[in-house]
Amino acid sequence: MQDKENTTHFGFKQIPTDQKVDAVAQVFHSVAAKYDIMNDLMSGGIHRLWKRHTISQSGVRAGQKVLDIAGGTGDLTAKFSRLVGQSGQVILADINDSMLKVGRDKLANLGVVGNVQYVQANAEELPFPDNTFDCITIAFGLRNVTDKSKALASMQRVLKPGGRLLVLEFSKPETECLSTIYDHYSFRLLPFMGKVIANDAESYRYLAESIRMHPDQETLKGMMEEVGFERVTYQNMTGGIVALHKGFKF
């Protein structure tokens, strides 16, 4: 029997804590090539509206420095690059080298060059000095982190005083009816689409399970406050299927 103190969840399974990073990495190595296509199919394109709203809440302007954690294929980075201009900088950080390569190629094809840097990094141990960034975002990545509190504390450390963190993540539906419909979609249709489009039902089954294991809106708000973020708020979108948490460092 495994010692619960040395295990963590990987979807609905319990695995040794020191194996989770590699397990999650394997999922994203598998899905990287089809990641953007699947995002559009899974959300009906609505993920673009969620990300657009996140950008609108960032307060980012020319000359600032932005960290896009778990930035994957670069949707947020591309928009931040235009906002900060050539006098600013955006760092797209991801723990997975396959996702970074897809993101780098995609942004190069879009002509996003010059003010973007790519860094392979673990959110729990960000390799940046204290008080570096004006804004930090993590979109659909926090639920895959092994120690979420440690990651949030790492983000708080590298954020400048006056800066803000934006966490865009799947969350808990606001009604039982929506939750039932969402469960049916997540555990039946999502793995099926993963099999047909990406030839990988298991990775998309894990992604559905990881959403259910993620802290709910109020719990995540409390976790952010515990590591020092202030004026923490969240906004539900699409009935709570997704929530945007915002916190400041003062």
Binding-site sequence positions for S-adenosyl-L-methionine: 73, 94, 122-123
Q: In 38-192, where do the E strands start and end?
A: 65-69, 89-94, 116-120, 133-139, 159-170
Annotated binding-site positions: 73, 94, 122-123
Q: Residue 236 in 3-state DSSP?
A: strand
Report the alpha-carbon angle 25-242-221, nearest 5.
Answer: 90
Determine the length of the chain: 250
Is residue 106 within 8 Å of 74, Cβ to Cβ?
yes
Tell me how far apart the alpha carbons of residues 146 and 131 are, in angstroms, rounded to a whole number.
24
- Closest among 225, 61, 203 to 144, alpha carbons compared: 203
Tell me how far apart the alpha carbons of residues 241 and 182 are, in angstroms, rounded to a whole number.
8
Report the alpha-carbon angle 6-130-214, nearest 5.
Answer: 40
Q: Phi first, then psi: what are they for 198, rounded to 5°?
A: -110, 0
Tell me how far apart the alpha carbons of residues 121 and 110 are, in angstroms, rounded to a whole number.
24
Token reading at 102: 């897809």
